[in-house]
Structure 1
Amino acid sequence: MASQSTKWANPLSFLSNLQGLQLSNCRIFGKIPTQQLLNLTSLSVLAMDFNSLSSPIPSYLSNLTSLFVLDLTNTWPQLEILDISATQVQEPLPTSFANTTLLRYFRAQNCLLRGPLPASMMNLSKLERLELDFVVANGREC
């Protein structure tokens, strides 16, 4: 019920020492209430996969220097631009990444992405720009 309201994140603003937040498949929709999540500076895991979010990926996430895992799988089906540059993302891109069928621009410069790019990326028919400068893949810098 709380996820149907725009106030679902209000209690989170008081949890400044929170390290992991798992909100997978919680029927959250609309915009992410960024003001309530600004205090989560200790957050190392944020999973909001399988929700229906309509806002862009909040820029405040770049201030979460402890963030190690960000899972937004199947969250932004309307996403057109994704920039995860200069992050410490250390996982392979999930195969479900290709579900962002409207993605036009993907930038992951200076990241530590691991493993090969998923073959499912071939399904990104609208992708116009792919920037992977200084990405470490399979132990080698690309």
Structure 2
Amino acid sequence: MGTRGPKSAAETAVAPMGVVGIVARQDAACDLRDEESEVWKGIVESLPADWFTPGSAPVLAAYCRATVSARRIGMLIVQAEEEGEYDVDRHMKLIKAHNQISQVIKTLATSLRLTPQSRYSPRAAGSQKPEGPKPWDITNW
């Protein structure tokens, strides 16, 4: 027979013991190079362990490859700008390639829900209230 009356604070403060599921983080795809694996690791460790499923691994691998490619194209752009002989056509081709890979990164990041805007549902996004006074309520300019 149990005790009568309300439970004490000590009884309610102790969480019941239960089975805790452990979710392993996704390992980097075996076909990624070292630099791409570092990007993978940085992304996977920055998010909850269950954020990625095995089905999202190919998309994440493509994102890592595109990110490294964008870095390399960016380095080529800097090199082209620092060269004594400036080749406008080469520079424009590099800029175009960088823009294209940036669009790929944006698309992949959105599909993986890595961007802040892709984490909000339309209903939740509308409920985000900015902090501080409204601009028209500020009187001292």
Compute the TM-score of the two structures, normalised by the length of structure 2: 0.24
Compute the TM-score of the two structures, normalised by the length of structure 1: 0.24
Higher RCO by CA contacts (8 Å cutoff, separation 6 or greater): 2
The structure that is strand-richer by fraction is 1
